[in-house]
């Protein structure tokens, strides 16, 4: 009865920016960046506000919203109080300009092949764990033509859920378990920042780091408790599948 052997159930979640896709050219991540600026202006009247005034790589959209408006002189208490309005305005802008979602973005090498290979496995469930707000996250995936390879119904943990990335890894697992009961034999989270590594380990997943963002192999390794797997990129599909034991 070897053929009846139960397949290991695997949940793989991916960060987006710097992991699956990258910003390019003069219109780098245009829609997302402009959505922030629109929210700053609509809620606080901050004209010409930009997230570039703070260090935001590896952060979540809510944390970026709060930290940026604090930089512009808003108290942290008021910033947090107005966070729902800020998030709502970001989504409002993104939905109104959805045709621009792919501007200044491109899918990183190997990502499409890897997602297709993973999605062909009945025992692998694919989701997102990202600091992006949920609506904007899936709009990016759709606009760049890779949403089709994620498990349906879509699963993940998003900046709209929590400011802490570690909590997002847990939230994604809980949602996946509710939608696809039966438990997971392996959970993996893939990201390009030290915060992704820490979040994966905090959330009970195997951390896989990729050096396709702003951080080096050494910086990603230093963020780990010692068990993270660091890859140069996601271009070697076979290597990634071997890592999962597939």
CATH of the domain at 87: 1.10.150.240
Average pLDDT over residues 84-99: 93
Query: Do 28 and 201 touch, CB atoms closer than 8 A?
Result: no
* pLDDT at residue 204 greater than cutoff 70: yes
Instruction: Please indicate, yes or no, whether residues 19 and 136 belong to a single structural domain of this protein.
Output: yes
Average pLDDT over residues 8-12: 97
Instruction: Please indicate, yes or no, whether residues 39 and 6 belong to a single structural domain of this protein.
Output: no
Confidence band of 1 (pLDDT split at 50, 70, 90): very low
Q: How do beta strands 105-107 and 21-23 pair? A: antiparallel
* pLDDT at residue 2 greater than cutoff 60: no
Instruction: Please indicate, yes or no, whether residues 166 and 180 belong to a single structural domain of this protein.
Output: yes
* pLDDT at residue 27 greater than cutoff 80: no
Domain boundary among 100, 118, 148: 100
Instruction: Please indicate, yes or no, whether residues 233 and 111 belong to a single structural domain of this protein.
Output: yes
Distances in whole angstroms, Cα of residue 169 to Cα of each of 60, 110, 148, 176, 187: 13, 23, 22, 11, 10
CA dist., res. 179 & res. 173, Å (int): 10
Query: Length of the chain, please?
Result: 246
Tell me what the pLDDT averaged over the chain comes to.
93
Instruction: Please indicate, yes or no, whether residues 111 and 228 belong to a single structural domain of this protein.
Output: yes
Instruction: Please indicate, yes or no, whether residues 160 and 80 belong to a single structural domain of this protein.
Output: no
Instruction: Please indicate, yes or no, whether residues 150 and 127 belong to a single structural domain of this protein.
Output: yes
Look at residues 65, 41, 38 and name the one whose alpha carbon lies nearest to residue 54: 65
Quote the pLDDT of residue 26: 67
DSSP letter at 9? P
Alpha helices in the chain (DSSP H): 30-44, 61-71, 76-81, 83-96, 111-119, 134-143, 165-179, 194-202, 217-223, 237-243
Confidence band of 132 (pLDDT split at 50, 70, 90): very high
Range scoring the smallest mean pLDDT among 56-65, 146-155, 211-220: 56-65
CA dist., res. 106 & res. 53, Å (int): 24
Quote the pLDDT of residue 154: 97
CA dist., res. 174 & res. 177, Å (int): 5
Instruction: Please indicate, yes or no, whether residues 217 and 178 belong to a single structural domain of this protein.
Output: yes
Tokens of 81: 């109080």
Residue 126 belongs to domain with CATH number = 3.40.50.1000
Number of structural domains found in the chain:
2
230: enclosing H helix or E strand:
strand 229-231
Average pLDDT over residues 63-91: 96
For residue 34, the enclosing domain spans 30-100
Instruction: Please indicate, yes or no, whether residues 110 and 205 belong to a single structural domain of this protein.
Output: yes
Instruction: Please indicate, yes or no, whether residues 82 and 182 belong to a single structural domain of this protein.
Output: no
Burial of 243 (0-12, 13-18, 19+ CB in 10 A): middle
Instruction: Please indicate, yes or no, whether residues 119 and 213 belong to a single structural domain of this protein.
Output: yes
Domain boundary among 69, 100, 131: 100
Torsion angle, alpha carbons of 51, 54, 58, 62, to 10: -60
Confidence band of 24 (pLDDT split at 50, 70, 90): confident
Average pLDDT over residues 14-32: 87
Query: Do 195 and 176 touch, CB atoms closer than 8 A?
Result: no
Quote the pLDDT of residue 5: 62
Domain boundary among 100, 121, 156: 100
CA dist., res. 131 & res. 227, Å (int): 23
Instruction: Please indicate, yes or no, whether residues 8 and 110 belong to a single structural domain of this protein.
Output: yes
């Amino acid at each position: 009865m070897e053929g009846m052997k139960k397949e290991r159930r695997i949940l793989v979640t991916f960060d987006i920016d710097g992991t699956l896709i990258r910003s390019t050219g003069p219109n780098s991540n245009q829609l997302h960046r402009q959505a922030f600026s629109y929210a700053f202006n609509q809620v606080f009247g901050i004209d010409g506000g930009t997230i570039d005034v703070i260090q935001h790589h590896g952060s979540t959209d809510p944390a970026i919203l709060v930290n940026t408006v604090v930089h512009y002189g808003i108290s942290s208490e008021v910033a947090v109080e107005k966070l729902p309005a800020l998030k709502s305005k970001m989504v409002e802008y993104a939905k109104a300009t959805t045709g621009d979602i792919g501007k200044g973005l491109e899918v990183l090498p190997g990502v499409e092949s890897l997602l297709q290979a993973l999605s062909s496995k009945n025992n692998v469930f694919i989701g997102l764990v990202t600091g992006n707000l949920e609506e904007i996250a899936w709009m990016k995936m759709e606009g760049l033509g890779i949403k089709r390879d994620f498990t349906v119904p879509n699963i993940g943990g998003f900046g709209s859920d929590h400011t802490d990335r570690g909590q997002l890894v847990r939230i994604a697992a809980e949602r996946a378990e509710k939608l696809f009961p039966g438990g997971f034999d392996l959970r993996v989270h893939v990201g390009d920042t030290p915060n992704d590594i820490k979040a994966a380990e905090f959330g009970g997943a195997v951390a896989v780091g990729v050096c396709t963002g702003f951080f080096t192999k050494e910086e990603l390794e230093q963020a780990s408790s010692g068990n993270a797997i660091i890859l140069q990129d996601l271009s070697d599909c076979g290597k990634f599948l071997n890592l999962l034991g597939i």
